Amino acid sequence: MNAPSNADSAHELLIRDLSADLTPVRRLRPPSVRTFSWLVIVAATAVILAMIADLSALGHRLAAAPDVWLAVTGSALTAILAAFAAFQLSLPDARRAWALLPVPATLLWIVASGFGCLRVWFVPGTHAADLSEARDCLIFIIGLSVPLSALLVIMLRRGCPLQPGLTAATAGLAAAAAAATLLNFFHPFDAAATDLAVHVLAVSLVIAGNSALSGRLLSTNFYAAT
């Protein structure tokens, strides 16, 4: 019988170290349940915002422009699917393909918002956002995305993502889409090209910020410590 090599004895020592202080662990809840928990917080935020928003203006806007429904549905679905994908990606055995889950909803969101731009060009009397209103949109989306992203990242840290950058970026998309959906409470104008560009810029900034900052928070690379 061969004597154990240095590597074998190192593995054996590590196994003993890891099992020496083994404590019972609480199993992670399924991604669907964790997504639902996050969405409950988003829904609570929506209720608070609805109390201070002009709901009649929102009602008029939705009745006058059916494509707005599509855009809102697209952004809400993007938030739900991206959050679910992020929770899936927070599992160590997750496949990268989960990151593609929110893509169809994101396309619906973008295309429906594009229809809004066309209406501004072809239908007289529509109120398009001016630059200061577009700037307010940018501030709203980024301002609301920060706490929603932070909450999501804290919840994702309970998992063990082995693709932290991708997980953080997907979480950023979820938070930005949720913020853009909630923006509709305070968005009494049609999506002109500048407005759409500002929304895209805000969502991109949130995703990039999440990848750069939260990616490190979610990292489980043991070599990073030394």
Partner 1 sequence: MTTIPVDFPLKDGIFRFDPAYWHGRRSPSGSITDTEIAKRAMTKAVPDVAIAGADHRRSALMAAAQAGDSAAYQMLLRDCIPVIKGVARRRRVDADRIDDVVQDVLLTIHRARHTYDPSRSFTAWLCVIAERRSIDLLRRTRRVDMREVHAPLAFESHADDEAADPSRGLAQADATSTVARALATLPARQREAVQLFVLEERSLADTSALTRRTRGSLKVNLHRALKALRSKMEFRE
SS3 128: strand
Q: Which x/- pattern, by CB under 8 A, does the window 29-48 give for partner 1? A: -x------------------
The stretch among 98-106, 159-167, 177-185, 191-199 that binds partner 1 (CB under 8 A) is 159-167
Which of these segments, 27-35, 118-126, 128-136, 198-206, binds partner 1 (CB under 8 A)?
27-35
Cβ proximity to partner 1, 29 vs 135, nearer residue? 29
Q: By rule CB under 8 A, what count of residues binds partner 1?
A: 37
Distance CA 35, CA 158 (A): 13
225 binds partner 1 (CB under 8 A): yes
Contacting residues for 4 by C-beta, under 8 A, at least 6 apart: 12
Of 61 and 157, the one with the shorter C-beta distance to partner 1 is 157
Binding partner 1 by CB under 8 A: which of 7, 47, 51, 52? 7
The binder of partner 1 chosen from 2, 6, 56, 132 (CB under 8 A): 6
Rounded Cα distance between 59 and 47, Å, is: 16
Q: Spell out, one character per residue from 91 to 130, where the chain touches partner 1: x when CB under 8 A holds, - when not.
A: xxxxx-----------------------------------
Least Cα distance to 185 among 55, 17, 67, 32 occurs for 55
* Residue 137 exposed, middle or buried by CB count within 10 Å (0-12, 13-18, 19+): buried
Q: Which of 168, 201, 197 is nearest to 82 (CA)?
A: 168
- Residue 88 in contact with residue 31, Cβ under 8 Å? yes
Whole-number Å distance between alpha carbons of 10 and 175:
43
Residues 123-152 that bind partner 1 (CB under 8 A): none
CB of 98 to partner 1, least distance (A): 12
Point out which residues bind partner 1 (CB under 8 A).
Answer: 6-7, 9-20, 22-28, 30, 91-95, 159-160, 162-163, 220-223, 225-226
